[in-house]
Amino acid sequence: MDFGFSDEQRHFQETVRRFATRRLAARYAPDDRRGALDERTLSEMASLGLTGIAIDERYGGQSAGAVTTGIAAEEVAGADFNAAYLLLIPMLVAEVIGAAGSEDQRARMLPPIADGSILPCFCLTEPEHGSDAARLSMRAERVGDEDEADDLRPGGEGWRLSGEKTSISLGMAAQTAVVFARTSEGGARGVSAFYVDLDERYVQRSAFRDLGSRAIGRAAIHFDGLPVPGESLIGGEGEGFIRCMQSFEFSRAIIGLMCLACAGAALEEALAYARERQAFGRPIGANQGVAFPLAEAATLLRGARWVCYEALWRRDAGLPHRVEASMAKWWAPKVAVDAAHQALLTLGHSGYSEELPAGQRVRDLIGLEIGDGTAQIAKLVLARELLGRAYAP
């Protein structure tokens, strides 16, 4: 058993760490106050290959394996948790296109995502369907050449998308989206995936006023009969939900690492403070009441990190990893929130001030206890794998 990264991965880790420390870290708090990511962040991450990290080299990406993608997510999120969404969401979208798209679709859709000229978003959740996304009600209706929309190829067939998506990360800024919509009745098997331009003539967006991750512009997006050409359908009709769930097996481990890295940064700040801050004539870290919670947090962060990396390692090895990805999704954000909370308490009154990032880290981390599936849903998937579908809740 080898717990280390390869030389190439270590070198890559140092490169991303240097970039994240020098360029991203200082933007973490100001972007939160402005409620938008710094304009330079996307292009800088793209030029380092981070927006197309897992995309095949043939389509302008880095062809990085899952473990290497995890390394990048950790390094970015440790410096600026919200900038890591610029890696996560394009990766999630590209996973669907890469796995299910035709050669022509991959060649057309993936390069602009990889080079950062297009920012996509991932539209699954609806106002009435979050955890039970298989029941989603957004409709894709087939239209033919009698439809007069310019956006359909003359004489060609296409679709019109109607309905409401909500809680979409990067939804205010994205130019394109993978949209999951119903092409027939029948639960999950009636859901198809479309990759579409968010044409403002048919799409209205509104921003959430969020507790955390304010810089990522979470949005509700209303589709008012958006016309899309037939070639927007990714994979076969009715394959969308399966593709979505398969891409979650990747993103859930990446999200775990993002959260743990953010909490790891909070823990480092708390440890430094515990060494320096004096109370009752000695450093506060000399008290077990201060030191032990930090020691416990370090243990839990480490344990959860290896579950995430095991999921990614298994993915690279072509092994099933739904169990590990589900463990990662419920456990890592939880221990991260708990550790970041403990770190804040260690800082005393100054941790409660916006002068320090401790509070922002807690607010931001809570978002990914919910985003991409809650802990309960991750445990539901896990229980099904452990018990067998017939016995699971």
Ligand X SMILES: Cc1cc2nc3c(=O)[nH]c(=O)nc-3n(C[C@H](O)[C@H](O)[C@H](O)COP(=O)(O)OP(=O)(O)OC[C@H]3O[C@@H](n4cnc5c(N)ncnc54)[C@H](O)[C@@H]3O)c2cc1C
The CA R_g of the chain, rounded to the nearest whole Å, is 21
Give the containing element (helix H, strand E) for 11. Answer: helix 7-19
Q: Is 158 helix (H, G, I), strand (E, B) or coil?
A: strand
CB 351, min distance to ligand X, A: 22
The angle at the Cα of 48, spanning 42 to 51, to the nearest 5 degrees, equals 50
CA-based nearest residue to 100, from 110, 112, 90: 110
CB 300, min distance to ligand X, A: 21
CB 3, min distance to ligand X, A: 31
Residue closer to ligand X by CB (options 99, 370) is 370
Residue closer to ligand X by CB (options 277, 363) is 363
CA-based nearest residue to 209, from 200, 222, 218, 201: 218
CB 157, min distance to ligand X, A: 27
Nearest residue (beta carbon) to ligand X: 130
Residue with tokens 């409401």: 164
β-strand 191-197 against 203-207: which pairing, if any? unpaired
CB 239, min distance to ligand X, A: 18
CB 379, min distance to ligand X, A: 8
CB 133, min distance to ligand X, A: 7
Residue closer to ligand X by CB (options 198, 284) is 198
Residue closer to ligand X by CB (options 85, 202) is 85
- In DSSP notation, 288-341 reads HHHHHHHHHHHHHHHHHHHHHHHHHHHHHTT---HHHHHHHHHHHHHHHHHHHH
Residue closer to ligand X by CB (options 308, 381) is 381
CA-based nearest residue to 244, from 189, 295, 284, 202: 189
Residue closer to ligand X by CB (options 17, 139) is 139
With the C-alpha atoms ordered 346, 348, 352, 353, is the resulting torsion angle positive or negative? negative
Rounded to whole angstroms, the Cα distance separating 232 from 53 reads: 23
Inter-residue contact 166 to 127 (CB < 8 Å): yes
The residues binding ligand X (CB under 6 A) are 122-125, 130-131, 167-169, 213, 218, 367, 370-374, 376-377, 380
Rounded to whole angstroms, the Cα distance separating 91 from 1 reads: 29
Helix%, strand%, coil% for the chain, nearest 5: 55, 15, 30
- In DSSP notation, 202-228 reads TEEEEE---SS-GGG--EEEEEEEEEE
CB 360, min distance to ligand X, A: 14
Rounded to whole angstroms, the Cα distance separating 206 from 118 reads: 20
CB 372, min distance to ligand X, A: 6
CA-based nearest residue to 152, from 202, 224, 227, 225: 227
CB 74, min distance to ligand X, A: 19
- Furthest-apart CA atoms within the chain: distance in Å: 83
Residue closer to ligand X by CB (options 121, 307) is 121
